[in-house]
Chains A and B, each alone.
Chain A
Amino acid sequence: MVDANKDFKKRLQKITFKALKATLKGVFFYAIYFVLSMFLAPISEIVPGFQRMVETFVMVYIFLIIVGELTSGTIFQHFLNAAKALFVILYLILSFKGGIMGITFQNINLIVDLRLFLIIAMLLSLLGFAKSILQAINFLNEKTEYSHI
């Protein structure tokens, strides 16, 4: 009875710690976005939909961070990290329309070539994806070794 109580307390502590960590990570990430958004304000004024595009990205990314943190210590954490990396790649490709963005503003056509940025971001995301796969392999490996012992 005492063991069960202790176990429950331990689990609760663990979950609370995870939730706290997830919240802190989410808040930290949002704070970074908040600071950066002030610098990006001039672009938001020129490019319609830019603010919404960034907001959607941040929302989904924070959601994946929180869920990933809550599932830490399980294989799902690594799946979510891989999903996060894939989400970044897909979102960048879709929102940046292949890297060449064009807008028309009062008879002026503005074209911004962000292909270099996109390539670097995608390579970094692929590196993140590879890291998640390695982490998943390592996790399963360690689990198997632990269960053998």
Chain B
Amino acid sequence: MRIPIRIIGIATAFFWIILIVFSVSAAYSVKDLQFDFGEPQIGVTLDNKILFSLPITIINKGYYNIGFFNVTTEVSDKEGFTITQGTTFIPIIKKGEGITTTHNATIDVNDLLQSNQNYLFNNTELKILEVVSMRIAEVIPVQASTNLSIAWGAPLYNFTLGEIEYTVSNQTHLRAIIPISFENHAFFDLTGSIQICMYNSTNMLVDEGQTIIEARQNSPYRGYIELYVLTAEMTETGCFEVYFLTPFFSYGPLVIPYG
């Protein structure tokens, strides 16, 4: 019985040594891992979605390969509604190698407006959950996560239609000038058009018109739309229906009463 016991002892000691040496060297080699997260950049994709890109450089100078390297970005609103999710996956980073990649996440403003239309008109905050996970030595799963928040600037902040100026155009028609103003707080330049439909108090379409808008980021916009309306159809009160058409989003009608 002594020999089997001795063999068990030797085998146990052998596996303990392997386990301890592996664990300690794997833990030690973590210090030789270099992560470099570059400056995050915001741009626009070809299909007019907002693109967040984060350059990541990983240099593995440790003793083991890094497996299943994964970066996930989840952007959600204050209520926790997920707006977008981006994932970057690198199956293996071999020891002694360095990898540079770009982690991308895109936001479709139209999707954003589906959860809350106030994103067009009010500045707010978006929550970002950043998760980085990997397998050290391809067997020990490690995950780091952090919560961030970024300011969302409304592209049509403080959108207002000013006081309508009426001038007589001819015997039957009036010329109505509707001033438009807003501030583009978004991180993209806003170009597109605004269409306004004017309805009188009986909900009858009096006239419609549109104008081209061009507002650089963080700058105010002031413009106007001219309408020619039949004097007979004009009432003191009514409403405007405003439609926005830009490469980033289409929105409307926004109903604004007048009078």
**Please, which residues of chain A bring their CB within 8 A of the CB of B140?**
112-114, 116-117
CB atoms of A39 and B28 under 8 A apart: yes
Q: Is the interface of A mostly helix, strand, loop or mixed?
A: helix
With A42-B30, A112-B140, A138-B1 as known contacts, state yes or no: A117 contacts B145, CB within 8 Å: no
* Residue interface bits A24-45, CB-to-B below 8 A is 1, else 0: 0000000000001001101100
Enumerate 19 A-B pairs (CB-CB under 8 Å) in ascending A order.
Answer: A36-B20, A39-B24, A39-B25, A39-B28, A42-B27, A42-B28, A43-B27, A107-B146, A109-B145, A110-B142, A110-B143, A111-B145, A112-B143, A113-B143, A117-B19, A120-B15, A120-B19, A124-B12, A134-B5
CB atoms of B144 and A108 under 8 A apart: yes
Chain B nearest CB, measured from A58 CB (Å): 12
Chain B nearest CB, measured from A49 CB (Å): 16
Q: A5 within 8 Å of B by Cβ?
A: no
Q: B31 within 8 Å of A by Cβ?
A: yes
CB atoms of A121 and B19 under 8 A apart: yes
Q: A20 within 8 Å of B by Cβ?
A: no
A residues with a Cβ closer than 8 A to B are 36, 39-40, 42-43, 107-114, 116-117, 120-121, 124, 127-128, 130-131, 134-135, 137-138, 141
CB atoms of A110 and B19 under 8 A apart: no
Q: Total number of A-B contacts with CB less than 8 angstroms?
A: 70
User: Besides A42-B28, A112-B141, A114-B140, 9 other CB < 8 A contacts?
Assistant: A36-B20, A39-B24, A43-B30, A113-B143, A117-B23, A120-B19, A124-B15, A124-B19, A134-B8
Chain B nearest CB, measured from A88 CB (Å): 10
**Please, which residues of chain A bring their CB within 8 A of the CB of B141?**
112-113
CB atoms of A134 and B1 under 8 A apart: yes
CB atoms of A138 and B5 under 8 A apart: yes
CB atoms of B2 and A138 under 8 A apart: yes
| Distance of A108 Cα from B131 Cα, bound (Å) | 10
**Please, which residues of chain A bring their CB within 8 A of the CB of B20?**
36
Measured CB to CB, the nearest residue on chain B to A110 is B144
| Distance of A39 Cα from B26 Cα, bound (Å) | 10
Q: B16 within 8 Å of A by Cβ?
A: yes
| Distance of A90 Cα from B258 Cα, bound (Å) | 76
| Distance of A36 Cα from B140 Cα, bound (Å) | 19
Chain A nearest CB, measured from B125 CB (Å): 16
CB atoms of A39 and B27 under 8 A apart: yes
Measured CB to CB, the nearest residue on chain B to A35 is B24
Chain A nearest CB, measured from B258 CB (Å): 49
Chain B nearest CB, measured from A78 CB (Å): 10
**Please, which residues of chain A bring their CB within 8 A of the CB of B15?**
120, 124
* Residue interface bits B1-25, CB-to-A below 8 A is 1, else 0: 1101100110110011001100111
**Please, which residues of chain B bring their CB within 8 A of the CB of A127?**
8, 11-12
**Please, which residues of chain B bring their CB within 8 A of the CB of A113?**
140-143
**Please, which residues of chain B bring their CB within 8 A of the CB of A116?**
139-140
Chain A nearest CB, measured from B237 CB (Å): 53
Chain B nearest CB, measured from A41 CB (Å): 8
* Residue interface bits B138-158, CB-to-A below 8 A is 1, else 0: 011111111100000000000
Partner of A108 from the list B24, B31, B146 (CB cut-off 8 Å) is B146
| Distance of A141 Cα from B19 Cα, bound (Å) | 33
| Distance of A124 Cα from B23 Cα, bound (Å) | 15
